Structure 1
Amino acid sequence: MTQPRGFETLAIHAGQEPDPVTGAVVPPIFQTSTFKQDGVGGLRGGYEYSRAGNPTRTALEECLAALEAGTRASAFASGLAAEDCVIRAVCALGDHVIIPDDAYGGSLRLLRMVLSRWGLTSTAVNVGDADAVRAAIRPETRLIWCETPTNPLLGIADIPALAAVAHEAGALLAVDNTFASPYLQQPLTLGADIVMHSTTKYIGGHSDVIGGAAVVRDEELAEKVHFHQFAVGAIAGPFDAWLTLRGIKTLAVRMDRHCDNAEQIADALEEHPLVTRVLYPGLPGHPGHEIASKQMRRFGGMISFQVDGGEQAATDVCGRTQLFTLAESLGGVESLIEHPARMTHLSAKGTPQEVPDNLVRISVGIERADDLIADLVQALN
């Protein structure tokens, strides 16, 4: 009987047994597009063509499924490719999706500028308010798309409550778990049907690979997602899958350091006279703190804050840091800073989902916390 294993152990071993031929401890990169068949239909290990399946990608998918307590995972070329595939697998012409009212700008762009052309409608709602979500449901609602924490306002949604609302309506709940990572939060164990990641971020962890993933519990739904992955073809390549697997091995230890640093930085920012508001679910005054305390192991490495002086002051802060690199993305070992209104969330400008122009978002890395705090203080001053 297989013994139960902890997260840290699964991150290193799930899907990553030593190679049976050579004994290689690290899974090989199967950099091949096709596989020799032993006669027509005689597949070795079930592999025929790397769009349909590749052993390196399989290793990654098995590991991700284990970490999210899911049945099956599918790895994609990017987080948005994963999101697009999930929506297409679940929804059809004329269906309706509920999304966060402070959703990631790329999600808004996908739904409003791409999928809307194919008859899909969406409504932006505060997903932290289950009653508001329930009120927004229509007969044609097929999917509630949730981020928690949200990007970039760090809102928190009650996953079990949203799952209940979705299932009452015959819809599914998908949770973008990118900000939390599976180490801090496992939405499938809380009632969600689908969990999605931009593996580019904390899972990869080193700002050197683009990728995405979708993990599900239900076998029939898993097969639908897998079919769309195969049919559309936005798969993770073998080298990208290998890099992502390498990052996963240290996910637990990295996330603990991200959280340690973020907690200290959030406290320091709250004390700064030029910071008007700090958005971090680890702070007791955060409106989602109580729920986050129940469904998250810790509170993550992402912080947003608003500064006195409007947009110019916010962009000045972004331009003056020395250790925080001005760049989009997040979740790497190095600290990043950005101005959402003019960078990651520019596509929301002029819409009800427009973010405050004095908002700064930071991805707290694993450098020494004192050095990071000093860098932010000098930038603010």
Structure 2
Amino acid sequence: MPSLFDPIQLGAIHAANRVWMSPLTRGRSTRGHVPTPIMADYYRQRASAGLIITEATGISQQGLGWAYAPGIWSEEQVEAWKPITAAVHEAGGRIVSQLWHMGRLVHSDFLGGEPPVSSSATTAPGEVRTYPAEDSGEIKRPYTQARPLRTDEIPGILADYERAAQNAIRAGFDGVQIHAANGYLIDQFLRDNANFREDEYGGSIENRIRLLREVSQRVVDTIGADRTGVRLSPNGEVQGVNDSNPAPLFEAAAAALDEIGVAFLEMREPRPGGSRGEPDQPPIHPVMRKVYRGVLALNSDYDAESAQAALDAGEADAIAFGRTFLANPDLPRRLRDRLPLNPQREELFYVGGAEGYTDYPTADEAALQPA
């Protein structure tokens, strides 16, 4: 069986190893969602990943409701991404853009007071960070109720994904990943506690995976299946989204993606003892593995031993690391040489600036020795 440090081909993308960097929102863009120069340093530092999947990146203003997160719908954003992708490539890395529509998780503050859109008229639980008003320092507000997308609005959503995929290639990305996980728009269509539609996008599993299928097909038709990946989260409740019978749902979703031919599927599925608590259901990725024949990456609280064990068991072809990669820019080397890991500074995850972003030392800078 392959090791974590063996190369792998995913469509048109050659990854030097199977230690991937999973998408991690960091909030270092401008208020207008334009990437900033410091992001080139951040991604360059992590170019030893077999594949970098960028932080979630908005396909439109309608779909982006995270303060200081980047977008890829405007020419200014495309131009700002170019030095970032160039920096990664100059360092020998590969990088894809994660395309994001947040659906009901976009607060109306980001939309000029208009309601967000979703599969149905629902409201996400909890609060969201928004930009402070001029007369207030408050930046967290309860989510607002979404309105259902009309059927005649779906073509516009598909067009936004098409434009974003085209823009990603123009910006120098090696490909894209469609974010269909974690309770965002496509996931809101997939799962039955958020989708109460009675048209062709609701009800049966085949109807609920329709938007995922159409988005994936549009992106594949735009930039090629060999440069397209998808993220799913076959887990329990996430951001208020859940499903009463997830195994057949995600099996059908994986089979649809296999039929379309997307090059890779990366999944966030909690594992026992993980950072998000104990899973409330058995793992679903084994049944998905049976129907999806492309490159499969798993992601959730893996270390070197458990990651290699997943490859040895044939459960996955690669493993994506999240917060571990955030704090360790040279993570593949640390895993290979069994070097100690930097601690994560959670209080600095989203605050902006270099601290807790580009100042994590490499093993050489810290003069580390094997444990």
Whether TM exceeds 0.5 here: the answer is no
**TM-score (norm. length: structure 2):** 0.28
Larger Rg: 1
More helix by share: 1
